[in-house]
């Protein structure tokens, strides 16, 4: 689990880099195709075209981000992976726009159990998504969201209100904003045992 988390952090940290490099991965398209290839790992959060190739010496090809459901990066050394998804999200202050952006998957919830997936966007912060929700929900401020707009405790308590004890602990500030990871893990254990 620790290796998976570190790999996801690696994928997320590469989102803002501009030197083009390629890593083994799988592009999952919205029409159900899976393309095993070398995928650029220097994605900008607003990247509209993704570069990929089928071998180190192969010609670089491009695919529109809007046609991609997710990209799975594979670390063959320890048989782990990390994912990034191209998605819109809800709950942002209006002035920040509504266009899709690349987000790293930090915690992948089990859809069959109703668990929450936690995403990280370098510009806007953290987002949560339940299996039946169309779009992830913005939870906390990133570098482009003013502190005034960040109502983390209220938003998180409302989002996790189906688990009243957890919601109360959030409102009582038992968790700090950076501890959304702990909140999601605790929620996922609770919901999977229901």
Domain boundary (43, 59, 85) is at 85
Question: Looking at the structure, do residues 22 and 96 belong to the same domain, yes or no?
Answer: no
Question: Looking at the structure, do residues 66 and 24 belong to the same domain, yes or no?
Answer: yes
Q: Is the pLDDT of residue 127 over 60?
A: yes
Question: Looking at the structure, do residues 101 and 139 belong to the same domain, yes or no?
Answer: yes
Question: Looking at the structure, do residues 97 and 183 belong to the same domain, yes or no?
Answer: yes
Q: Is the pLDDT of residue 3 over 60?
A: no
The overall pTM is greater than 0.85: no
Question: Looking at the structure, do residues 56 and 96 belong to the same domain, yes or no?
Answer: no
pLDDT digits 0-9 by tens, 5-41: 444 544 444 443 334 488 899 999 999 999 999 998 7
How many distinct structural domains can be found in the chain? 2
Question: Looking at the structure, do residues 94 and 172 belong to the same domain, yes or no?
Answer: yes
Question: Looking at the structure, do residues 101 and 174 belong to the same domain, yes or no?
Answer: yes
Average pLDDT score, the chain: 81
Q: Is the pLDDT of residue 177 over 80?
A: no
Question: Looking at the structure, do residues 105 and 46 belong to the same domain, yes or no?
Answer: no
Mean pLDDT of 112-130: 89
Q: For residue 41, what is the domain's CATH number?
A: 2.30.30
**CB under 8 A, 24+ apart: contacts of 143-148:** 144/96, 145/92, 145/93, 145/96, 146/93
Give the number of residues written for the chain.
Answer: 194
Question: Looking at the structure, do residues 63 and 104 belong to the same domain, yes or no?
Answer: no
Domain boundary (40, 66, 85) is at 85
Query: For the chain, how many helices (H) and strands (E)?
Result: 4, 10
Q: What pLDDT does residue 167 have? A: 96
Domain boundary (85, 105, 131) is at 85
Question: Looking at the structure, do residues 113 and 64 belong to the same domain, yes or no?
Answer: no
Question: Looking at the structure, do residues 141 and 66 belong to the same domain, yes or no?
Answer: no
Question: Looking at the structure, do residues 79 and 98 belong to the same domain, yes or no?
Answer: no
* Lowest pLDDT segment from 11-15, 81-85, 118-122, 149-153: 11-15
If we measure between CA atoms, which residue out of 109, 123, 112 comes closest to residue 187?
109
* Lowest pLDDT segment from 10-14, 41-45, 103-107, 165-169: 10-14
Give the span between the Cα atoms of 41 and 17, in whole angstroms.
8
Tokens 């990929």 belong to 52
Domain that holds residue 43: 2-85
């Amino acid at each position: 689990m620790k290796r998976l988390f570190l790999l996801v952090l690696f994928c997320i940290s590469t989102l803002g880099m501009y030197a083009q490099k390629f890593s083994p991965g799988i592009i999952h398209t919205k029409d159900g195709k899976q393309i095993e290839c070398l995928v650029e790992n220097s994605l900008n959060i607003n990247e509209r075209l993704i570069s990929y190739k089928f071998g180190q010496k192969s010609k670089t090809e491009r695919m529109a981000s809007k046609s991609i459901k997710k990209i799975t990066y594979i670390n063959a050394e320890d048989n782990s992976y990390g994912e990034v998804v191209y998605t819109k999200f809800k709950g942002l202050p209006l002035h920040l726009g509504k266009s899709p952006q690349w987000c790293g998957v930090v915690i992948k919830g089990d859809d069959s159990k109703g668990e929450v997936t936690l995403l990280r966007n370098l510009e806007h912060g953290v987002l949560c998504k339940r299996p039946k929700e169309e779009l992830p929900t913005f939870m906390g401020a990133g570098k482009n969201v003013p502190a005034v707009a960040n109502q983390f405790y209220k938003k998180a308590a409302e989002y996790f209100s189906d688990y009243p004890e957890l919601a109360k602990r959030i409102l009582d500030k038992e968790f700090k904003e950076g501890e959304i990871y702990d909140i999601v893990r605790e929620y996922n254990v609770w919901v999977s045992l229901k």
